[in-house]
């Protein structure tokens, strides 16, 4: 089955993991594998924007994310599940693809909102980008 499952979470949005986490837990439990939780802090986008933030903003954001991730694992992940936490900074789809390689996961689980044709046409979705580029299977759970 799946020995290593990567679940993307947005620590600021409960819908990003509320329905997807139980699926990932059951998949990991059935194979006695590892659950990798990944949170990606968005980057600034451009150097010009970076100048408007304090110098240690990224470090502080990652420290807050680590505390929130620890709390999420403590509160929501059963004790019998082996979990590894991963934090990164950048574009979600890019960081997920890097995490797939780094964790050697067999499956990615992501939550996604129901498609909105206008938004999808203009910007696309992160889940779509991951599905199209992923070297492993991706389970998209509707939030």
> 31-49 pLDDT, tens per residue?
999 999 999 998 766 665 6
Radius of gyration of the chain (CA): 15
For the chain, what are the domain ranges? 4-142
Considering only residues 83 and 55, tell me which one the structure prediction assigns the higher pLDDT: 83
Report the pLDDT averaged over residues 118-143.
Answer: 80
pLDDT in tens, 4-33: 999 999 999 999 999 999 999 999 999 999
Task: State if pTM tops 0.85.
Answer: yes
From 31, 26, 35, 25, select the one nearest 5 (Cα to Cα): 35
Which CATH superfamily does the domain covering 4-142 fall into?
Answer: HUPs (3.40.50.620)
Give the pLDDT score at 99: 98
């Amino acid at each position: 089955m799946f020995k290593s499952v990567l679940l993307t979470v947005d620590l600021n949005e409960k819908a990003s993991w509320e329905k997807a986490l139980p699926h990932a837990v059951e998949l990991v439990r059935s194979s006695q594998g590892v659950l990798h939780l990944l949170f990606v802090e968005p980057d600034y986008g451009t150097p010009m924007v970076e100048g408007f933030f304090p110098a240690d903003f990224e470090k502080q954001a990652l420290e807050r994310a680590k505390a929130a991730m620890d709390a999420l694992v403590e509160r929501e992940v059963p004790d019998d599940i082996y979990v590894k936490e991963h934090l990164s900074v950048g574009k979600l789809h890019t960081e997920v693809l890097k995490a797939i390689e780094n964790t050697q996961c067999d499956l990615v689980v992501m939550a996604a909102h129901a498609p909105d044709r206008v938004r999808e046409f203009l910007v696309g979705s992160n889940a779509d980008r991951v599905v199209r580029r992923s070297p492993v299977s991706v389970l998209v759970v509707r939030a």
